Structure 1
Amino acid sequence: MTTESADRAPAPSGALRVVTYNWPLYLTGAAAVGVGAVVGRRHRAAWAGGALAAWWLSASVLASHRVYDRSPLHTWRWLDGVLPDGPGDHLVVSAGLDEASAVLRARYPGAAQTVADLYDALPVTEPSLRRARRRVPPRPGSLPARPQRLPGADASYDTVIAPFAAHELRRAVDREALLEECARVLRPGGAVVLVEHCRDAANAVVYGPGAWHFMPRREWFRLAARSGLTVAHEGRIAGYVTVLVLRKWRAV
């Protein structure tokens, strides 16, 4: 494995990398397409299954290309629209694949940044995440964290930024603990910025069964309410990624 330096971090993952991280799923899908093409001549159900697999293979790659290669997602320029004053002192929470902290540090050089990594605390580590981890090792100085304990004293950050991390906590109790910790370390008036695919119609159409790895929108709203946070902003990037800004208006 080639070790990338902090000054030459790997380019953000695009559609090709998404396929690489999830290659067994794509290989299975391609096999289903082949079986459907052969068996489908005699069995209509097999033909329909193969056609559906072909759709999800092509649609997921095209959607990933739109999100990860063609949208402003990885640039973080869009953050200025939801946090006009910038993130201030901020905590970046990752779950094994941190492609945000270096960009945020460069965009906001005057803001103090802490990076927390939940990877070692995940009860279940998806094989795709292990493959991503091999390509993008933890950034120097990142701190190991648990959902029940994020680095930082009470009210120590203006913003907590969690891109594609919280859904990797497969147990509801861990997600609840994480949002409670986010609320704890936030200063009053601070914000949690969640960036997630949601288990919704748009993602189900293009990612098929893979969309069940995501959490439904209502789960994030439930966690916000349970943690004493208010949904102050909800937006979309490229039609498939949801951005939620959860505000802490008072001590919790």
Structure 2
Amino acid sequence: MEIKRRNFQGVVNILSFNRHFYVVGFIALALIIGSKFLFNWHPVLFWVIISAFMYGLIMPLFVSAYVYDFSGFYNFDWLKKMKIEDAKGKFNLNINAGFDETSYIIKSILPQSNLQVYDFYNAKQHTEPAIIRARKVSLVYPNTQQINSNSIPLKDSSVDTIFLISAIHEIRRYDEKVQFLKECRRVCKPNGNVIMVEHLRDFPNFLAFTIGFTHFFSKETWKKAFEEAEFTSIKEKKFTPFMSIFNCN
């Protein structure tokens, strides 16, 4: 199945999945503007607050357009450069948190390898409104299976590559993250890899998403979690200043 992304699909997704944030933001902005007729705002303070609100609402859309619509991220050239072996005996996993935009793309790049897709979304644990909305429009790859984040239903040392693309930051608890990564380590072959793509809780993403950057986790947190899960090699490469690609084994 060929996946053709629409123009500005990344921005449209951000607006659609996070519309509660934008509704609240614009209501707050309207109230601040309206309050100018009731209170004697200092002009500098008024425009500083207005500018801060506008920045917080608009900048994430500019950055999302850059990362998801114009950077070539969904062309997956970054994955092709990794030169992952594609053969009939290879077995790969793509694990998501209820929103899958990547499985068909991965399959098109590695057509001979077997690809199994797992979804660890749990309505009781993963309560973000954005995930709930995203699930309603997500493509479902054939034979996608629902799993618990603490148990991957495969034998030890059976997987060549596990893809975690903008997914496991939805596991909010650190201990749950470590347990999930331990399961990834268990099912990976000794020379197998976990390829994880994530925004980080760092300065570029603070500039991009302001307080929204707290939805992500720092490089140090991920490194510690992978080390506790007994990964011995953790390599990070930047894809734009706002996204990191981790290759771990």
Range that drifts further, 189-198 or 32-41: 32-41
Range that drifts further, 110-119 or 44-53: 44-53
Alignment of 1:15 onto 2:17? no
- Match in the other structure for 1:65: 65
Q: Could you tell me which runs of 5 or more consecutive residues in structure 2 were left unpaired when the two chains were aligned.
A: none
Tell me by how many angstroms 1:170 deviates: 1.1
Instruction: Report the AA paired with residue 205 of structure 2.
Output: N
Where in structure 1 do 4 or more consecutive aligned residues deviate above 6 Å? Answer: none
Alignment of 1:120 onto 2:122? yes
Change in 2 beyond 3 A, CA 1:122/1:85: farther
Secondary structure at 1:120's aligned position in 2? coil
Tell whether the 8 Å contact from 1:121 to 1:146 is kept in structure 2 after alignment: no
Tell whether the 8 Å contact from 1:82 to 1:245 is kept in structure 2 after alignment: no
- Match in the other structure for 1:206: 208
Tell me by how many angstroms 1:89 deviates: 1.9
Q: Deviations over 1:146-176 (max 9, x none)?
A: 1111132100111111011111011112101
Larger radius of gyration: 2
Alignment of 1:9-158 (within 5 A): 11=5, 13-39=9-35, 42-43=41-42, 45-85=45-85, 88-120=90-122, 123-158=125-160
Aligned residues: 241
Tell me by how many angstroms 1:56 deviates: 1.6
The two structures have a TM-score, normalised by structure 1, of 0.88
Q: Could you tell me which runs of 5 or more consecutive residues in structure 1 were left unpaired when the two chains were aligned.
A: 1-6, 248-252
In 2: Cα distance, 1:83 partner to 1:63 partner? 28
Secondary structure at 1:236's aligned position in 2? strand
The two structures have a TM-score, normalised by structure 2, of 0.89
In 1: Cα distance, 2:48 partner to 2:182 partner? 45
